[in-house]
Structure 1
C-alpha cells in the first residue's frame, strides 16, 4: 500500500487540501493497528452521542426548573431537580471518559504516524536531499511537533463535528416545536455570518499560521545550533554575529505574530458578536408571546439554549476558525515533507521499519 504520493508544490484549492488531509489520515485507518483504532473511534462516537443526549435533556430540565420556580410549585420543582441531578450523574463520567479515550487515540495515532515519517525521512538518505535540495524548512519540527498537533487537532475537530451534528438534530426538534420563526431567523443569521467570516479571514489566517510555524522553528533551530557549536563560537569570538542572527530571527517571529494577533483580534470581534447576538435573538423573537401568556419562562430558557446550541453547531466554521486555519497550515507542512521524502524512495508499500519498542500500550 502506497502511503504518500508525489504532488507538486502549489497553492492549494479546497479539494487539494482535502486530498492532502486524506493522504496523511487514511493510512493509519487501514494499517495493522486499524482494529484497535476503529474500536476506540466507535467508543468515542458513542460517548459523544451519549454526552450530547445528556446536554439536550439537561437543557429541557433546566427550563422545567425555571418554570417550577416561576409557578412557585414546590412539588414540580423537587421532581425537576431530581431529574436534573440524575442527568448530571450520567454526564460527568461520559465527558471524562470521552476525553480520556480521545487523548489515548491521539497518542496511538501520533506514535504510528511518527514511525512512518521517520522511515520516510531516513530511507535512501532523504534527510540529506531534503536539507540540501528541496529547502523544506525545519523537518525536525514537522516530525516532532506538527504530527502531534495534527493528531490532536484532527480528533478534537472530529469530536466537535460529531457533537455538533447530534446536537443540531436534537435542538432543531426542540426549537421546531417551540417556534418555527425563531429557527428560520437562526438559519439566515448563521449562513450570512459564516460566508462573511470565510471570505474575510479564510486564506489570510491560514497563510499567517503557516508562516508563524516556519519562523518559530527557524528561531528555535538557530538557538539549537548555537548550543551544538558553543565551543567553536566561543573560540572564534563569534558571539556577536550569533547574537545578531538570533535577534533577526526573533524579529521575524515578532513581526509575523504581531500581524497574526491583529487578524485574530478582528476574528474575535466576529466570533464574540456572533455569540452575543445568538444569546439575545431568542428573547427578542419570543418576548411578545411570553407577555401574551402563551409561553412559560422555562420555555423561553429552553428556546434560548436550543437557539444557542444550534448556532454553535451550524456556526462551527465561525467559532473554530482560528483552530481550523492552524490545522490546515500544519497539514500543508506535513504533506510537503512526505512528498519531498517520497521522491527519494521507491514507490513500494511502506512498512514501519523504524519502530519505538518502548511505546507499547
Structure 2
C-alpha cells in the first residue's frame, strides 16, 4: 500500500499543475466533454444490451416484423455510437497535445532556467537523458494518464450500469447444502466479482516485475539512441582516429543491454499474456455456462440468455480492467518514476544554487572585478586559491598557465556559469560576450549561426555577408538562407571564424575568449586579433 500511496502522490504532483494553471478552465471544459462522451458510450452499451434481448427473442419467436424493426433500431444506435466514439477520440487527442505542450514548456523552463541543465550535467549523474524525458516520457505520461483514467472511469460506470441489469437477469440460485436449501440472489453478480478479484490478484503477482523492467528499458533505449547521436555528431573525429571498430563494439554493447532487458520483458510479458489471454477466453463461455441452467429450465428465453451473457461480460470486463490494462499500468508507473526523478533533480539543482550560491555574479558599472574568488572542482577539491583582480575598460589581458591549471574554469566563473567555489565576480552593465573554445552552432540557417545569440533578422544581410567575408569566409557569404547541420559541415577553424563574425556583428564592449583561435593557423589567428583591434579598438579583451 505504501508503494501505491507514493505513486499516487507522485502522480498528483505531476498532474495537478496543469489543471490549476492559466489553462485550467479550457482544459476542464474539454475534459468534461470527453467524459460526457465516455458516459454516452456506456449508455449506448446499455441500450445495445437491451436490444440483444429483444433481437434474439424475435429470432426465437420467428417474428420477422420485429426482426427488421430491431435491425433498423440497431443501425441508428450504431451510427450514434460511431459518431460519439470518433469525436471522443478526436477531443482526447486535442487535450493530449495541449497538455503535453504546457508540460513541455514547464520542463523546458525547469531544466534550462538559471542554467540548471549545466549544474545537473556537472553534479547529477543519476539523471540520465533529460532530452528523452522531455520528448518521450512526457508524451507517454499524458497519453497513459488520460487514457487509463478515462478507461477506469468507463469501467466504474459500466460496472454500476450493468450490475442492476445482471442482478435482475440472473435471478436466484438454489442448492442444497447440509440438508438445507440455500438461495443466493443475484448469483451471477457474485460469480463475476469472485472471478475478477481472483484474476486481478493473479495478474498483479505475475506482472509486478514489469514496472522495473520498463523503467530500465526506457533508460537503456535512451542511452543507445544517445550513443548513435554522438557517433553521428563526431563522425569526422572517429574517421580520423579510425575508431570504427571501437565504436561498433561500444554500440553493440549498448544494444546488447537493450536486448537483454527486452528479453526479460518478453519472458515476463509472455507469462502475463498466458494468464490474461486464457482469462479472457474463459470469460467468453463462462456466463453461458452459469446461466444455462435457467435457460434450459425455461425460466428465461434465448434473448434473456444472450442479454445475461452480455451483461455478465460487461460486469466482468469492468471488474477485470486492472488485468487488461496491467502492461500499460506498469509502463505508466515507470514513466511517472522517471519524470518525478527528473523534476526532483531540477529542484535539487535550483535549491543548491539558492542555498549555496558559491560564486556570486553582480552587475556593476566600470571595471570587471574579482573579489576573493576561489574556484573548486564539482567534488569540492580546491582548484584556485582566493585572489583579487580588476580589469579596466579598454584593457587587453592574457591569462596563461599549464593545461589543467584552471584557465577554462576561470573563464566559466567570469561568465557566471561555474557554481563551485566562493567569491564575487562583478560585471559591467554594458554588453559582454564570451567565446568558448568550441563555438555552439544550431541546426538551422547560416543567418541564425552568424546572428546567435540574437534572433535571426537582428542584423541585415549586408552586415552578415561583410562579417563573414572579413573573417575569411567569403564562400559562405551568399548562403545565409541555407539550412544545414553546420557543426558537421564546417571545420573547427571555420566554426571559430563564425564565432568571430558574431563578435563583429554584436560589437561587445567586453570580450572574453577561451582559446577561441585554437583551430586556426598562426597567420589566421593573427588576422582575427588584428581585425578585433581595428574594428573594436575600445573593446576590453
State whether TM-score is above 0.5: yes
CA contact (8 A) 2:207 2:327 kept: no
Greater shift in the superposed pair: 74-83 or 29-38: 74-83
Q: What does residue range 52-71 of structure 1 map to in structure 2 within 5 Å?
A: 52-71=42-61
Between the aligned partners of 2:343 and 2:42, the Cα distance in structure 1 is 37
TM-score, normalised via structure 1 length: 0.90
More strand by share: 2
| Alpha-carbon offset, residue 84 of structure 1 | 1.3
Q: Does the 8 A contact of 2:206 with 2:268 survive in 1?
A: no
1:323-346 Cα deviation digits (max 9, x unpaired):
000000000000101110111225
> What is the SS of the residue equivalent to 1:344?
helix
Q: 2:207 aligns with which of 192, 201, 204?
A: 201
Instruction: Tell me if the contact between 1:124 and 1:344 (Cα under 8 Å) persists in the aligned partners.
Output: no
Query: Structure 2 residue aligned with 1:142, among 117, 122, 133?
Result: 133
Shift of residue 63, structure 1, vs aligned partner: 2.9
1:19-98 correspondence runs (5 A) = 19-98=9-88
Alignment of 1:183 onto 2:173: no
Give yes or no for the alignment of 1:316 onto 2:306.
Answer: no
Query: How many angstroms apart in 2 are the aligned matches of 1:122 and 1:45?
Result: 36
Q: Give 1:5's aligned residue.
A: none
Tell me which structure has the larger Cα radius of gyration.
2
**1:247 and 2:238 correspond:** no
1:272-324 superposed Cα distances (whole Å, 9 cap, x missing partner): 12111211111111112111111111111111111111111111110100000
Q: What stretches of structure 1 move > 4 A for 4+ residues in a row?
A: none
CA contact (8 A) 2:120 2:349 kept: no
* Bigger RCO (CA 8 Å, 6+ sep): 1
Whether contact under 8 Å (1:62, 1:84) holds in the other structure is no
* Match in the other structure for 1:285: 290
Residue of structure 1 in register with 2:235 after alignment: 230
In the aligned structure 1, how far is the partner of 2:304 from the partner of 2:234? 69
Q: Can you give the 5+ residue segments of structure 2 that lack an aligned partner in the other structure? A: 171-185, 353-541
Determine the structure 2 residue equivalent to 1:356: none
Q: What is the total number of aligned residue pairs between the two structures? A: 335
- The answer for the alignment partner of 2:281 in structure 1 is 276
For 1:154, the equivalent position in structure 2 comes to 145
- Aligned equivalents of 2:320, 2:298: Cα separation in 1: 32
Name the TM-score, length of structure 2 as normaliser: 0.61
Unmatched 5+ stretches in structure 1: 1-11, 348-361
Higher helix share: 1
- CA offsets, 1:215-272, max 9 Å, x none? 1111100000001111111111111111110000000101110110111111111111
Aligned to 2:100: 110
